[in-house]
A = this chain, B = another copy of it.
Amino acid sequence: MGTTIKDIAKLAGVSPATVSRVLSGQTDFYSEKTAKKVKQAVKKLGYQKNTSAVELVTQKSHVLAVIISTIQTNAADQIIDGIQETAMKNGLDVIILYAGEKNLDLQRRALETVIERTVMGILLVAIDLNTKNDALLRSANIPFLFLSIGFLKGRFPFISSDDFQVGYQATKYLMDKGHTKIGFAAADPETVIGQLRLAGYWKALSSNHVTPKLDWVYDGEFTYDDGISAMSYYEQHTDLTAAVASSDLAAIGMLNQAQKFGIRVPNDFAVISIDGTFLCTIMRPQITSVTQSFREMGVKGVETLLSQSIKQFKSLYTPIKITERQSS
C-alpha cells in the first residue's frame, strides 16, 4: 500500500539493504550518518514495514495468538491480562481470536487463520478442542498450550487448576462448616473439567462417609440460568443445606433464585462458587469461592511457550485457594 524500502533508499541515497539493516535494528553494521539519513526519509515518507514480506523471508513472527472460547467468563479477562503483560515484556504482540466452544467449524477456522500466519505460538484458552481438529493443531508445528482446561492421558499440554482438587476442596470446605447434604450444581458432565470436579466432590463426601444421592448433582453448563434451574430443583426435590456452584455466574443464579424462594443465604443454604472473579465481590451477599489463579495461567503460559524446553513441557497446575466471603 505504498512506500517501500526502495523508496526510502532512493530518497536517502543508499541501497535497500542498508535501509533494511538500519530498520531491523542491527547494531554496528552501519554508520551513524547513514542511519540518520535513513530515519529522516522514513519519517518523511511515513513508511510502515510490510510484515507479510518480513515474515515470508525470515520465517519468524513475534506474534502470539490466543484462541479463546466465546463463553462469557470473566475469568478470560484475567488470563488475557496475564498473557498481555508477559508478552509485552518479551517484545511479543498478541492477537486474539474467538472460537465457539464446541463448534467444529469455528474452531477450525480460528486455527487455520492462525496457522496460516506462522505465529510464534498459540495459547488456547478455555477451549475444549474437538478431536477432529487435533491433527490440524499438531500438524502446524507451532508451539501451543492449553490454558484453564485440562486433559486426560496427556492428550495436550496445559496449564490449569487441578480440577479434581477444585471439586474436592470446595466440598471439603462446606463439610468443615458442618454440612453433609451438599449439592453439586451446573457443571457440564461432558467436559473434562466437569468430570474431574465431580470426582473431587464425590471423593470429599465419601471420605467422610457421606453417600451423595443421585439428585444432589444437577447438571448444567456453568451458566447463570443453570444456577437458577439448579436452585429451583433443589428447593423442590431435595433437603440440601449447601451446594458447590460450578461458576461464579451459576452461584449468582442460585443466590437470586434462593432469594425468590425466601431461602436465606448463608443461614438456610450455603453456597461456594468456583472461579472467584470480581463478580463474587460485587454481589450481596458476597460469594465464597474456590479462587483460581487465572492471571498466573496467562503469565506462565507465555513463559512456557517462550522457554526452550517447551517440547518437554508436560503440564502444570496453578494454585487454588478458598476465599471466604458471605455466602457460607
Contact = CB atoms under 8 A, between A and B. Distances in A.
Interface stretch (A7-15, A42-50, A151-159): A42-50
A177 to B, nearest CB: 24
Interface in A221-268: 224, 249, 252-253, 256, 259
A112 interface: yes
B93 A94 contact: no
A84 B109 CA distance: 12
A52 to B, nearest CB: 4
A51 interface: yes
Interface string A30-74: 000000000000000010111111011001000100000010101
A139 B98 contact: no
A190 to B, nearest CB: 24
B98 A1 contact: no
Nearest to A227: B282
Contacts of A77: 72
Contacts of A74: 72
A314 interface: no
Chain A contact residues: helix, strand, loop or mixed: mixed
Q: How extensive is the interface on chain A, given as a class?
A: 35 or more
Nearest to A259: B284
Contacts of A293: none
A56 B109 CA distance: 21
Given A1-B118, A95-B96, A284 B284 contact: yes
A116 B252 contact: no
Contact of A56 (B50, B63, B259, B284): B50
Nearest to A53: B56
B94 A97 contact: yes
A116 B51 contact: yes
A270 interface: no
A140 interface: yes
Given A51-B52, A95-B113, 12 more contacts: A48-B139, A49-B116, A52-B56, A52-B117, A72-B74, A72-B278, A84-B98, A93-B97, A94-B97, A96-B96, A96-B97, A252-B282
